[in-house]
Chains A and B, each alone.
Chain A
Amino acid sequence: MSFDLNSNLNLESTRVIAIAASNDGLEVLSPLIAGFGVRDFSRFSNVEDAKRQLEGQEFHIIFVDYHVDSGDGYDLIRWIRRSAMHENRTAPVFFISSNFTSRALERARDAGASFAITKPVSPDVLLPRVLWVAGLDLTFVESEEFCGPDRRMRFEGPPAGTDGRRETDIHGELGEAASDNLDQDEIDAMLKTQRASAG
């Protein structure tokens, strides 16, 4: 199963939930989600209300904002990934934030987010990622330290400061970081599961 921008898609029966402290964030998501054809979109600015909903109803896509009323969204993602309802536990979770430093991104990943989206969320950014995640048959990991999608990272060379062992490894000095924030492509590279091929 795979989807792209040339695919036909039916989002009419999908159930989507978004949790954010801010009504503005939810208001911006609403027309965007409705435009995709989703009819069942639940919005919550209160985490406890959202948890009750997540315990009682299956969702296909979950949006969690960095700013939720109980603090940050990481705890909510961790709760979802350990929740009693299996369907929501394994649903794609999109983490939305205005500020993705590499440290913030690692936290989102370690909490169990499927994707990190930087604000402002636009249809051009969101739809390709929904299509991509819908085409995946993800393996899930459950352990004491981590619950969430398994990730096989894109190979981007040996760890910094090591020589590497492969003939194709690139050597050289690393420069100073040009910027602390990551752009959407870099964020995707850290969170996307990559298919591995043998042979």
Chain B
Amino acid sequence: MSKRFYKPENRLGAVMSQPGGMPARAALARAKYQMTQKRGEFEKRLKARVKEIQAMPVCDTAGETFRTASMKASDIVTLAGVTGQKLTMTTAAALIEFAEWMLEAEAGDTAPIPVFIDSIRLAHEKGPRMTEEEAQTLVARLHRLTDIYQARYPLPDEDAA
């Protein structure tokens, strides 16, 4: 197959330029309003997802455990992010960073997963009452844990593969 360059029609630009619609700033304000209206529902969902991840079953393989943890934590990042629960979002993001690294490194050590999950629970239950220093310590410890495991399980060299 030879290399081919071409300019496709900009269909999105064309349809967006049609008469009607609304100013972009109004669209932005409307989207934010719609998100606010759903906040209660998203908070309920978040609570359910935090419970779910705590009950996460042990999977047959380490890879499956990391993948499941990453997926469930991703939902928590989404829901905590849109409901303004920053510490819950950050702890879940830390789990994803850890799990994705371990997946990529094809590592089999799932021992730290419960530590991350418990931190998510703690952040969700007590985050609003934590001091800034306590929150920072919690996150820093998770990052430290990830650093240790990243040093222990380096990623395979893609170029060498």
A-side residues, CB < 8 A to B, are 1, 3-14, 21-22, 24-25, 27-28, 31-37, 58, 60-61, 66-67, 86-87, 90-92, 97-99, 101, 103-104, 119-124, 126-127, 130-131, 133-144, 150, 180-181
Contacts and interface: CB of A to CB of B under 8 A. Distances in A.
Q: Is the interface of B mostly helix, strand, loop or mixed?
A: helix
B7 A35 contact: no
Interface string B68-100: 001101110111111000000100110011001
A170 B122 CA distance: 46
11 contacts: A10-B16, A13-B18, A22-B74, A35-B35, A37-B30, A92-B12, A98-B70, A121-B78, A139-B5, A141-B3, A150-B5
Contact of B19 (A10, A98, A124): A10
Contacts of A123: 28, 31-32, 35
Nearest to B39: A31
Contacts of A5: 24-25, 28
A135 B13 contact: yes
A120 B28 contact: no
B10 A180 contact: no
B22 interface: yes
B45 A60 contact: no
Interface in B115-136: none
A14 B35 CA distance: 20
Given A27-B45, A37-B27, A8 B21 contact: yes
A97 B79 CA distance: 13
Contact of A35 (B8, B33, B42, B100): B33
Given A32-B31, A32-B34, 18 more contacts: A6-B23, A8-B21, A8-B22, A9-B24, A10-B20, A13-B15, A24-B49, A24-B75, A67-B71, A87-B11, A99-B74, A120-B81, A122-B82, A123-B32, A134-B10, A137-B7, A139-B5, A141-B3
Contact of B18 (A10, A130, A136): A10
B111 interface: no
B38 interface: yes
